Amino acid sequence: MASTVPEASKCSSVFLGKTGLTVSNLCLGTMTFGKSPFGFLQGNIDEETSCQLIDRFEDWGGYFIDTADFYGPKLSESIVGNWLQKKDRERFVIATKVRFSIDPSDPNKVGLSRRHITRAVEESLGRLQTDFIDLYQTHLWDNAVPLEETLRTLNDLVRCGKVRYLGACNLSGWQLQKWIQVQEKLGLEPVVSLQQHYSLKERASEWEAFQVCKGNGLGVLPWSPLSGGLLAGKVSRDKPPETGRLAEAAQTGGHNDGAPDWKKLQADEQLWNILDVTKRIAAKHGKSQAQVAIRWLLQKDIVASVIIGARTVQQLDSNMAVATGWALTPEEMAELDKVSQPDKPYPYSMADMFMGDRVNPFNPPLTL
């Protein structure tokens, strides 16, 4: 039986961007519930184990749960919905997503068209067994559909009460800025959050996408905070991983954002430098390297809630232990920032060359 979680160790509540909605500062990601949509992702979780994980997440004071129609496919939403029937629905913030195909036989059940969104939201509501979705997110951009069509449809969902807030996932800076410009021009419900791959190993979104978030009051929801397990401290340069996404990628030669190419990682000096620093800081605090990596994200001012996943209650307990009760020092944050800083590509590098004396206290630059 899992131990009782002390009140002082439970999740804190934070506002989701500039909205009045609060979420737990750690969010339970449910991509592994049911059957994985990705061949490289090991550790699929049955319904009984999934419900045990959500129960334990609740013990830790967590009440923000993230799923998607694509996860399972469909099974993740169904598992969350079955669990939710035994609870007070109003105590939880449920987020799901739309965009990917979950029925390849139907050419219209994909993308961000009015046809697909209006059907997908009804099906998600049915699987979740609820009459509203707290945060409805576009899972990816859709080049095939005019943005106005997508945003007017999402606006209708909020106006009729099926959805409370709108979020986006996996967007570039220009895509997010265009969304905001169109919503303002048409007077539509705003996007309030951006769910993005963000970690000590993946910081490219800081260049533009997160600047847009900061300038417009969006909360960032990092996914894969350990970069597919890479930052958990369980791998070394000379020993390929034996389990999980990284092991699958190493064995098959496949890779993507959630499971990077192992051969390239072996030659990545910055990665091993990051792990050296997180190992030293972890030892100082009596924490794990994974906890240090997640805590670094929690202390970023643009981050509202960090999305974590787990296959066992023990893994979940370890991740949840970063929620509150301890913090990295400003010096440690600066050291982690420095060791993980990606090379600045053009035009950011050129701008830095000529920005030295252009400091105006009445017009401060956006910083992360």
Which residues have a catalytic role annotated?
A: 71
Residue 38 CB-density burial (10 A; 0-12 exposed, 13-18 middle, 19+ buried): middle
Query: Cα–chain-centroid distance for residue 54?
Result: 17
Please choose, from the candidates 21, 17, 98, 33, the residue with its C-alpha nearest in 3D space to the C-alpha of residue 63: 21
Tell me the Cα Rg of the chain.
20
Task: Let me know: does 185 contact 212? Beta carbons within 8 Å.
Answer: no
Element (H, E) at 194: strand 191-197
CA distance 72 to 69: 8
Query: Cα–chain-centroid distance for residue 28?
Result: 10
Residues in a beta bridge with 362: none
Show the tokens assigned to 124. 């998600």
Please choose, from the candidates 278, 291, 229, 293, the residue with its C-alpha nearest in 3D space to the C-alpha of residue 258: 229
CA distance 38 to 31: 10
Q: For helices 75-84 and 47-59, give the axis angle rounded to 10 degrees.
A: 50
Task: Let me know: does 279 contact 289? Beta carbons within 8 Å.
Answer: yes
